[in-house]
Amino acid sequence: MTTLQLTEQILKKKSFLCIGLDVDLDKIPQHLLKDEDPIFAFNKAIIDTTHHLCVAYKPNIAFYEAYGIKGWKALQKTINYINENHPEIFTIADAKRGDIGNTSKMYAKAFFEDLNFDSITVAPYMGKDSVEPFLSFQGKHTILLTLTSNPGALDFQVQKIDQKAFYQQVLEISKTWSNSGNLMYVVGATQAESLSEIREIVPDSFLLIPGVGAQGGNLEDVWKYGKNSNVGLLVNSSRGIIYASSDENFAQAAKLKAKELQQQMEEMLKT
C-alpha cells in the first residue's frame, strides 16, 4: 500500500485510528479459552466489529511469540484474515527489530514476504545498514522508533548531541538512507509537545502515535501539533479498545470505544 492510498482510506473512513491487537490470554473473556485458537477467535471478533472504524491494525509480535508455535499460528491466521477480508487496511507488525544487514534482511523477509505485512516497526540503535534492508522492499514501510511513549524514553532519546536531542539526530540521519521515502516514525502521544519540532524535520512522513488511552496521551494535542497536509497520522489504541469489556459482549464494547475515537477524529478531519 502507498501512503497516498493510506491517506485516501483515512479520508474515506473519516478515521486515522490504528487498533493494537495485543492479545493476552489472561485478559480476554474467559469463554474464548474453550476455543481451539482463542487468540485468533478474539482477534476475528474485534476485526469484525471494528474494521470500518479504523485504517490500520497493529499486532504486537511479543504477545504472539510469548505463546510459542500456538501464538505464531494465531498471528499468521490474523494477518491472513485481515489481508483476505479487508485488503484496504494497513497492517503493522509491531516487532521493533533491527540487526546487522544479513539478519535484518531475514526479518524483512519474514514480515514483508511470508506474513505479508505492509509495515514493521524497527529500532534505530544499530544504524543505517540495520535499517536499509527493510527499506529496500518496494510498497512496504519501515516505522522507525523515534521518541517513544514510555518513561525510559528519557534515558537516551532526549539526551543532547550538538544541541539536538538524540531522537532528532535519528530523524535527520534516517533521511539520508536509501529509499528513505519508505520511512515512517514512531512518536509517543505522551510526547505531543515535541511534535512541532519533529514536523519541521519530517514534514511529509507518516507518524505512528501510540500511547493514547492507557498510557495517558492526548488526541487533541497529537492532532494540533502532529498533522500534516496529508493527515500524516496513525493514532494507535490497544488496551483501551480491545479490553473495553471482559464479558461475552467484548467485541461490541470494543466497537463503541473505537467509535468514540473515530468520531473525535471525524471532527478533527473536518477542520
* Alpha-carbon span 31 to 254, nearest angstrom: 17
Binding-site member from 30, 35, 154, 263 for its own copies (CB under 8 A): 154
Least distance CB 199 / its own copies (angstroms):
21
The minimum distance between CB 4 and its own copies, in angstroms, equals 30
Binding region for its own copies (CB under 8 A) out of 79-87, 144-152, 225-233, 257-265 = 144-152
Among 36, 84, 161, 270, binds its own copies (CB under 8 A): 161
Whichever of 6 and 145 has its CB closer to its own copies, that residue is 145
**Structure-block grid coordinates of residue 210:** 501510540
Q: How far is the CB of 121 from its own copies (least distance, A)?
A: 9
Q: What's the rounded Cα separation, in Å, for the pair 122 and 170?
A: 12
> Helix, strand, or coil here: 177?
coil
Nearer to its own copies, 9 or 148 (CB): 148
Alpha-helical regions (H) of 175-238: 195-201, 219-226
Burial class (CB in 10 A: 0-12, 13-18, 19+), 221: middle
207/36 Cα distance (integer angstroms): 37
Residue in 14, 77, 96, 128 annotated catalytic? 96
Does 255 qualify as catalytic in the annotation? no
104 part of the interface to its own copies, by CB under 8 A: yes
**Number of residues near its own copies (by CB under 8 A):** 55
With beta carbons less than 8 A apart as the criterion, state whether 226 and 192 touch. Answer: yes
DSSP 138-172: TT-EEEEEEE-SSTTHHHHTT-EETTEEHHHHHHH
Residue 155 engages its own copies in binding (rule: CB under 8 A): yes
Return residues touching its own copies (CB under 8 A).
Answer: 22, 24, 60, 62-63, 65-69, 72-73, 76, 96-101, 103-104, 106-107, 109-110, 114-115, 123-131, 145, 148-157, 159-161, 166, 169-170, 173, 215
